Amino acid sequence: MKFKKSLFISLILYASTLFADSWAVAFMYHRFNETKYPSTNIKIEQFKKQLEYLKANDYNVWHLSKIISYIKAKKELPPKTVALTIDDAYISFYEDGYPHLKEMGFAFSLMVSTNPVDAKSKNYMSWSQMREIKKHKAEFINHSVMHHYLIQKDKKEIRDEILKAQRRLQEELGDSTNENPRLFSYPFGEYDERVENILEELDFVGITQTSGAIGFDTDLRKIPRFPMAEAYASMDSFITKLNTKPMPIVSVLPKNNIIKNNNPPKLTLTLKEQLPNMQCFISSGKKINHTWVSQTELEVSADKELKKPRDKYTCTAPTRDNKWYWYSHLWIIE
């Protein structure tokens, strides 16, 4: 009897360990082979090498919605699961990026702002082109109507931006588009507590442009993705980010990320355990101060004012299995 009880407890602990160690990584792209926009562009050779690496190393390339469905259901993700996401539906993606995804047979997620498409802008894909790529493992995610800064809008305007875009996506691409779960990619990657709460009221998951891996404790209003632009798209950088895990965070303070007078801001992270060899940075890559104020509570602050319009605190720490814990926090400076 004691043996059976011991075995049962061991199996529960083993399952819990597996469950806790289940995560995925999402990458974000914008423009393809548009070298005059280096901050949002990826060169095709860089992109091809990344796809070839995923294929050669047997990665599971899933739609972002499938990953989120697993996270919401607390269902274990298979190892080596990634999502490839593309913001804005620029025509350069259709012409220079999509053919390589199609060739590889990879699933991908396209974030669509509906107004530029309805306006038939030559810089963006058409609805017809989207219906074409839907046949080749594309999914479509709400990226608002106008691609405006939502934190500058009132509640009605924010709701309209989300719901009208959702309606247009479903009118053009099918009633099941971006449903179960509903995802919303923040324009410019910007959000505050008010926008997050509106999104939650409308039953949408929020997709950010802050870096980090996705796990069961990830805030569903702030799903992270690693930006892939020319300067950050080397194979060394790509492989490092493939080998990241979600920081084991219990809580984050302050809840609002708007900076008015408290610049530089103080970030307080409560973790499940103290992580040795933690390092923290601002967006420029400059190291910033961090202090363990208890076994599990970490305070992070820059030594100088952050510059407008936005900045990030990013903290990393090595894991026991030679990967990296990674967390990034967005600040909006007014």
Residue 179 placed within a domain? yes
- Residue 172 pLDDT: 99
Residue 14 placed within a domain? no
> pLDDT tens digits for 211-222?
999 999 999 999
Q: Cis omega before residue 181 (within 30°)? A: yes
One-letter amino acid at 6 equals S
CATH code, domain carrying 258:
2.60.40.1220
Q: Are residues 162 and 98 in the same domain?
A: yes
Residue 66 placed within a domain? yes
Strand (E) or helix (H) holding 259: strand 258-259
Q: Are residues 68 and 122 in the same domain?
A: yes
| Percent of the chain whose pLDDT exceeds 90 | 93
CATH code, domain carrying 194:
3.20.20.370
Tokens read off for 164:
């009208």
Q: Are residues 161 and 75 in the same domain?
A: yes
**What whole-number distance in Å separates Cα of residue 18 and Cα of residue 226?**
24
Q: Are residues 269 and 124 in the same domain?
A: no
> pLDDT tens digits for 141-190?
999 999 999 999 999 999 999 999 999 999 999 999 999 999 999 999 99
Nearest to 268 by CA among 222, 300, 291, 312: 300
When divided into structural domains, the chain yields a total of 2
> pLDDT tens digits for 45-60?
999 999 999 999 999 9
Q: Are residues 236 and 271 in the same domain?
A: no
Q: Are residues 128 and 235 in the same domain?
A: yes
The answer to whether residues 137 and 108 touch, using CB atoms and an 8 Å cutoff, is yes
Residue 324 placed within a domain? yes
- Residue 17 pLDDT: 46
Q: Are residues 202 and 305 in the same domain?
A: no
Domain end call among 244, 266, 294: 244
Q: Are residues 56 and 92 in the same domain?
A: yes
Domain end call among 178, 211, 244: 244
Range of the domain at 260: 250-333
Using DSSP bridges, classify how beta strands 297-301 and 289-292 pair: parallel, antiparallel or unpaired: antiparallel
The answer to whether residues 267 and 275 touch, using CB atoms and an 8 Å cutoff, is no
Q: Are residues 240 and 259 in the same domain?
A: no
Residue 186 placed within a domain? yes
The answer to whether residues 301 and 267 touch, using CB atoms and an 8 Å cutoff, is yes
Domain end call among 194, 229, 244: 244
Q: Are residues 235 and 121 in the same domain?
A: yes
- pTM for the full model? 0.93
- Residue 20 pLDDT: 59
Q: Are residues 232 and 297 in the same domain?
A: no
Strand (E) or helix (H) holding 152: none
Mean pLDDT of 102-107: 98
> pLDDT tens digits for 251-305?
999 999 999 989 999 999 999 999 999 999 999 999 999 999 999 999 999 999 9
- Is the predicted pLDDT of residue 193 greater than 90, yes or no? yes
Q: Are residues 77 and 224 in the same domain?
A: yes
- Average pLDDT over the chain, rounded to an integer: 94
